[in-house]
Amino acid sequence: MTLRILHTADWQLGKPFHNVPGDAGALLREARFEAVRRIADLAARYEVAAVLVAGDVFDSNLAADRTVLQALAAMRAFQGPWILLPGNHDAALAESVWTRFERLGCPPGCRIARMPEPVTLADGRLVVLPAPLTERHTLDDLTAWMDEARTPAGAVRVGLAHGSVAGRLPDAADAPNPIAADRAVTARLDYLALGDWHGALEIAPRTWYAGTPEPDRFKDNGAGHVLLVEIEGPGAVPRVTRLPVASYVWQDLVVDLTATDAGDDPAGRIDRALTTTSRPERRIVRLTLRGAVDLAGRLAVEAALERWRGELCHLELEDELVAEPSERDLLQLGDAPVIGRAARELSSLVRAGDAEERTAAALALRFLYLEAGRLERRR
């Protein structure tokens, strides 16, 4: 009979989202609980033997009691077993979010894997070997004990750990909490469920990172899923299926607004870049604008951005635009002798000044044009 488990990690409930302020940040915090509710629903639907959470259930050991209670409520649709592994954000300290989790009503089907010892499930058909973190960072490989762990004959062996597999992650760096790349082989594991890397990633046929179920950064790394792992029996290669659970999409876009012909519309380019089939209110966008626009085009761009700020969940702008007044702009400004003379001098600095002068002159020219437009409307 096929053994099914759900593998997830890095919920980081209570994440503050300092880079997404206001109501948008609050929506993203709530979305993480919605993702847990979807995981519970999937666990019940697929009748899994267990949900394995490979660390960082909470963003911090200082998570508020309300956050803990919301987590318990979100998990309610699946009665268990849930195996929750302390990670580097919520390490199993003497007093931690886990001690409060238990005091606030840890359900019978939920187990906090505080100790590196076998957890037997599914009437002995499944044994989970956890490697909990008891401090935020360690230089020791906490999965090493799995090599010598004894389990009943005929049981599927599954490791559960949180850390960095040396030499296998896209971001090459010396990281704490190391995990041997061949641990599944040396420990005779049928599957090794990992957390810490926030994207879904296969390290080896029996070793996977689940990634965070709700994306939290501008990185295209396969976040937003939970892994359904199906194992026919000891020694069988697991079948791993990514099941989407995310509510929000994070996009990193670069748009060059330099005109290529007289009919180019910079605001239209922005609209085309930001218009997709997905719901705009569920998108967090970092938009980098490059190139050069005249002052009239700049006003159209700002109007388009203001409209999109209202439609998107959150818009983060990286403005690298250079203001290049057109002949039309200068003629309009030239109607007023003082403003026209200032505009011509500023335009010269934009074209020929040093970097600091060009930046200051472009900003001054923009304000000059806006002020001229305001005066014109008052006439």
- Print the SS3 string covering 41-59: HHHHHHCCCEEEECCCCEC
User: Domains plus CATH for the chain?
Assistant: 3-244 (3.60.21.10), 249-378 (no CATH)
**Cβ-count burial 327-355 (b if 16+ within 10 Å, e if not):** eebbebbeeeeebbebbeebbebbeeeee
d(CA 74, CA 35): 9
pLDDT on residue 154: 93
CB 91 within 8 A of CB 133: yes
d(CA 8, CA 53): 5
CB 141 within 8 A of CB 181: no
Burial class of residue 296, CB neighbours in 10 A (0-12, 13-18, 19+): middle
pLDDT on residue 246: 97
Burial class of residue 93, CB neighbours in 10 A (0-12, 13-18, 19+): middle
pLDDT on residue 277: 73
d(CA 349, CA 354): 8
The residue behind tokens 């200082």 is 62
Angle between helices 65-74 and 22-46 (to 10 degrees): 40
Task: Name beta bridge partners: 230.
Answer: 4, 239
d(CA 5, CA 158): 10
Q: Which residues contact 96 (CB under 8 A, 6 or more apart)?
A: 61, 86, 90
pLDDT on residue 127: 98
pLDDT on residue 47: 97
pLDDT on residue 310: 95
Tokens of 347: 């335009």
Nearest Cα residue to 282 out of 245, 247, 239? 247
pLDDT on residue 153: 92
What residue spans of the chain are helical by DSSP H?
Answer: 22-46, 65-74, 97-103, 183-186, 266-274, 295-311, 327-334, 337-352, 355-378
Task: Name beta bridge partners: 293.
Answer: 323
Angle between helices 337-352 and 355-378 (to 10 degrees): 150
pLDDT on residue 334: 57
Mean pLDDT by 10 residues, the chain (379 residues): 96 95 95 98 98 98 97 95 97 95 92 97 97 95 97 96 86 75 97 96 95 94 96 96 97 87 79 89 96 83 95 95 69 64 77 81 74 58
| Secondary element (H or E) of residue 150 | none
